[in-house]
Structures are given as structure tokens and as C-alpha cells.
Amino acid sequence: MTTRAGILVAVGATVAGLVTAVPTAASTGSVASTAPAAAPPTPKWTACATKAYPRLQCATVRAPLDHDRPSGRGITLALSRIPHTAKTTQGPLLVNPGGPGGSGLSMAGFVAASLPAALAAQYDVIGFDPRGVGKSTPALDCVPKHFDPVRPDAVPDSYEAEKANRNRAAAFAAACGARHGDLLPFMDTVSAAKDLDVIRRALGARQVNYFGYSYGTYLGAVYAKLFPERVRRLVLDSVVDPDGVWYEVNLAQDHAFDARHKAFAAWVAKNDTVYGLGTDPARVEAAWYRMRAAVRAAPAGGRVGPSELEDTFLPGGYYNGYWPHLAEAFAAYVNDHDENALIAAYENFAAGDSAGDNGYSVYTAVQCRDAAWPRTWSTWRNDTWQAHRKAPFMAWNNTWYNAPCATWPVEPLTPVGVSNHRIPPALLLQATDDAATPYEGGATLHRKLRGSALVVEQGGGNHGISLSGNDCLDAYLVDYLTDGTVPRAAGSGADAVCDALPEPKPLTTAKAGTDAKGSALHGLLGFRG
């Protein structure tokens, strides 16, 4: 996941004749192709300290672009590390923030700093930029500034408006094929999982420990399926439903994010003395949609139209620590016609940058390649309108975000079946009201990974829940990383339950805004993905 780019959402469009096909490498997705290759050179670590992480080190490792041709063209994977300091080490702990398309270089420092010092000292905490991402080379950038404002309204009010968005998405897919046609057949989760084993071999480790958030849970599950004997410990936080990649899980998100938007409206109503938008959640939500209509008619500052407004408030569906900041901008615009407040919120939470361009390019490349997407536009239109009628907050926005997959210039692969009985017990962490990866995903993967333990945050709506301030959840994580201990409960449901953290307070209160731990984590996980 990258800041300002990359959500797990779906719905696409077909615009015939705009994309030139790139030859398919069908074997890329083959689970059977896991034969050992020559060990890559040991990484040469150099200091790359930051103010926050003064012990951080960086390196690179070479991997084959096509793992079925290990002596062919290579790519470079960027790594980061906080090395162990204890006399006895538990080996490498690979950490991933999700995406696909998220840079993981800062995750090593964050995880090492967030775990108890004595425990972190036992691991070499390894961050990495997956293939195509960030400082790994080559890096993808299909259409720079694709999300620059003001974009067309996501919700089409005419055939012409719908066609304009379809053409825009298809043009993005065509540009990816033109600029990166040699890479796209190898941008997929199986190839990224095989990269993880290249990293393992470069580190000289017989096994690895893995800790992934969001899309990182799917990457970890695929790695465990391909290389079960190489998995020592597996932590998966905010779990992707492996049975829905990628179309079905994205449709489910439309409804889940709408529910979180309603929860935000209810929180604003509860704090009416601060925001003055009404004590009825429905009235507050109606005010938000009136704001949307207003910026559709006249974009705030010429920058924030309806699509940008949706992008701005979408992060609140990931993390309720952003609610106080979003509510301030919401109230300022509605009550005082303060466009500057809305523009500032857009710049903080949604404005695109080069990292976002890269993240979105990788996001589309991986999800469009991983699995089949409907190619018939009527399927997408019907599904989107059906979702929009019940959950209007982001259904059409998500349609256009994923629409390049409908005309993607590389044929899709078949998703890997991740059911697994050959790995040690895995630890799964899942909030009941998570919008980006709804609860059902955690329950499904719990059934598929024999011996796994599911820890649930009851009533929690944030995406990414460990190492973000919930001591109950973190205690289970620490126990697991210490000696492999997992909670056990009778039956097939949750093995342990933790209460959600309290809701945030308005910025005007004494203890206001975001929790420091939660804010740090969600700054790394990003918003769109």
C-alpha cells in the first residue's frame, strides 16, 4: 500500500480497440515452478539512517524477472534492515505494508521500534520494495499525474459521462502496455512471492518469519503455499479474502466503506456541539452529499471536485484517527463556505504524487494480472449501479479506479489456492468492521490455514490493527513472535477477542486527534491500498 494510491477495490470497463495486447507468459502463475536456483549474492548493507530509525540499513538483491528463466533478465529489489542485536537470533522477519504497490522500506524501522526492545533484538527485521515498486528497479509509472484534479465526476449522469471515464481508464491500460509491456506479464503475486524466496536465500536463512498487512496477507499466504517448508512464523493482519481475488472482494468493499462513512457521520452527529452539523447521523450524511453536489457544480479552489472529495474522505474508512481532521474540514466548508479547509484536507489525504503514481501503476499491474476480470461492460455497470443504490459513497469511484483491468493488455492468471496444512500455526488478526478487508476474509483464511489462530478486534473498524495502540492485540502478537504461542478456543470461530479502542475525540478536546502509534502505522499503510 502506498500513501495516496492503491486500494483493494474493483469494477472495470471495456472499451474495445484501445489496447494493444502484450504476449502472455502463462507459466508465471505456476505453483509448481519452485525449483531451487543458485543462491544470489549476499546483500551489501550500508547505513541509510533516518531521524526516526537511526539503525536502518539498506541493500539490494537481484532477482529474475521471469522465475521460470532464472538466468534471463534480472530486476533489482530494494531492501532495508534493522539488524538483530541479541546473542541468539530468530532469523529474518520480512514485513510488508500491503498494496499491491506499497513501499515497505520504512516498515522495518517501524516494526522494530514498535515491538518490545528485547523481542525486536532477536530478529533481523527486513523491509522491501516489491518488484516494480519504489526503489526497486525497474519501477512502473504508466501515466504520471493520472489523478491530478479535477477529474470527471465518478458517478455518471449520462452516457457521455460514462464513456469519458471508460475511455480514460482504457487509455491508462494502453499506456501501461506501451511503456511497460515487457514487464507486465511478470507483475503478479506469484512472482512477488518467489521474490521473497530470493530474499530468503540471499540472507542465508533456512526459513523466514513473515508479517504482512492487507494485501501483504495475500502475498504471505501465497508464499506459504509455494514454499511451506520455508515458513517459520506467519502473521497476517487485516486479511484479504483469498476466495475473492480480485473482483468479489472489491464489490464487498463498496458496502463496507459505505458503512464506515455512515459511522463517521454518526461520530460527527455525536459531537454536534463541536461541528454543528446536526445530531441526526442521517442529517449529517445528507449534508456531506450536499457538499459533494456543491463541489460538483463549482470545485473548491478549482481543485476539489466530487471525485477528489471522495478521495479525501476515503482515508476515514481506513482509520478513524483521521475523523477529527476530516470533520473539521467538512464543518468549515458546510457552515462557513471555507474552501481552503477542504483544499487543505485534500492536500493532506488525497493529493497525488510520484509515489502515488508508481503505487497505482503497480496496483493495477498486479491485480489485473493476478485474476480474471469481466470484460463485458454491462456486468460492471449493473454491479456498480446495484452497489451504488445501497452504498453510494464509493461504488463508482472504485469502478474507475479498477477499470483498467477490463482492458488490460496481458491475459490474467488463475489465482493460487492458498489452503495449507504444511505450515506451522499462523496468527491472523482481524477487525470486525474493517472496510478494506472485510471480516469474512479473516474467517475464510482461518479455515484454510490448518492450525491457524484468529484474533478478532470486536467492533473495530480500522484497517491494520496490530502495533497501533491496542495492547490486547499486541500481547498476542508478542507472544507469537516470542515463541510461536497462539491462542486456542473450541470451535471454528475466533480463538481470542479484543475490544476495539475508544473512538477518537474532536481536535478541540484536551486529548484529541490521532493516537501516535495508530497514526504512525497508517501513515505507512497508506490510503488507497
What amino acid positions are annotated as catalytic residues? 214, 434, 463
Which ranges constitute the DSSP H helices of 391-505? 395-402, 439-448, 471-483
Amino acid identity, position 378: S
Inter-residue contact 123 to 84 (CB < 8 Å): yes
Q: What DSSP string runs through 55-93?
A: T-EEEEEEEESSTTSTTS-EEEEEEEEE---SSS--EEE
> What does the radius of gyration of the chain's CA atoms come to, in whole angstroms?
22
Sign of the C-alpha dihedral computed for residues 214, 216, 219 and 220 taken in this order: negative
Which residue shows C-alpha cell 471525485?
A: 307
d(CA 94, CA 376): 39
Task: Give the type of residue at 84.
Answer: H
Phi and psi at residue 495, in whole multiples of 5°? -90, -20
| Cβ burial, residue 21 (10 Å; 0-12/13-18/19+) | exposed
How buried is 441 (Cβ within 10 angstroms: 0-12 exposed, 13-18 middle, 19+ buried)? buried
- Which segments of 314-402 does DSSP mark as H helices, in order? 315-318, 323-336, 339-349, 354-370, 377-390, 395-402
Q: Which helix (H) or strand (E) holds 224?
A: helix 215-226
* Cell output for 154: 465518478
Q: Other CB atoms closer than 10 Å to residue 385's CB: what's the count? A: 14
Can you name the residues that pair with 58 across neighbouring β-strands?
Answer: 46, 80
Cell of 312: 479525501
Long-range contact pairs involving 485-490 (C-beta distance under 8 Å, separation at least 24): 486/425, 486/427, 486/452, 486/453, 487/453, 487/455, 488/453
